[in-house]
Amino acid sequence: MIITFLGHSCVQLQTDKHTILIDPFITGNPAAKASANELKADAVLLTHGHGDHVGDTESIAKRNDALVVAPNELAVYMGWQGCRSHPMHIGGAHTFEFGRVKLTQAYHGSGLVIPDKKEIVYMGMPAGLLIYVDGLTIYHAGDTSLFGDMKIIGEMNQIDLAFLPIGDNFTMGPEDALVAAQWLQAKRVVPVHYNTFPLIEQDGHAYAKALAEFQIEGIVMEPGETFEL
């Protein structure tokens, strides 16, 4: 599997047969190196309904006829925008052509802000993603604080790769994300959701060094970088 980091919390997973995008916030993302118009996908997985995660989902999904997989309210909303969508909810799992997805809890918010109308459209509960593809288990935590049930997620799964937010202010900071990595018993961790904006500036390399003290491989990725898992 080829893993590509596209900036903020956006990740591309490419197998021999399918391309999966997670939280494709490209347009308006100052850290992004790619253009949303050039991205291809068979499926777009969304963790929650904030604009810096839903991002370019509609245009990417429509152009590629990609399936949008998301928490129920967000999936329904994306369906109303003309996307093919599959609703799920926390604790539920489903097997798709590209692999199996299970939603976990995440402690955050989920609402689409419409500035012109001064409205926020409720998008249901936020979620994390467990993705089982090609014999690998990948965990994308979405936006979340540290929570105790990460221990259970780690006990029930052998996580080959975890994407954990470290930006602080809106999510876990590096200290809590270090505990999360241990509780999850993840083999490898890629820090995400940091350095996109000044408010969430962090040192990803310092976080990776701290992970190494617990025999966890920290992989610091710049937007556009790839590695093979």
Residue pLDDT, tens place only, 58-86: 999 999 999 999 999 999 999 999 999 99
Paired residues of 96 in beta bridges: 99
What single letter denotes the amino acid at residue 149? D
pLDDT band at 24 (very low <50, low <70, confident <90, very high): very high
For the CA atoms of 79, 84, 90, 94, the dihedral, rounded to the nearest 10 degrees, stands at 160
Report residue 174: phi and psi, to 5°.
Answer: -60, -40
Domain over 2-220 is classified CATH 3.60.15.10: yes
Q: What is the pTM of this model?
A: 0.97
Please report the pLDDT score of residue 86 as a whole number. 98
Please report the pLDDT score of residue 56 as a whole number. 98
- Angle CA(205)–CA(208)–CA(211) in degrees, nearest 5? 155
How would you class 97 by CB atoms within 10 Å of its CB: exposed for 0-12, middle for 13-18, buried for 19 or more? exposed
pLDDT band at 133 (very low <50, low <70, confident <90, very high): very high
- What tokens does 198 get? 């000044």
Tell me what the mean pLDDT of segment 3-20 comes to.
98
Report domain extents, the chain.
2-220
pLDDT tens, 170-213? 999 999 999 999 999 999 999 999 999 999 999 999 999 999 99
Tell me what the mean pLDDT of segment 94-113 comes to.
97
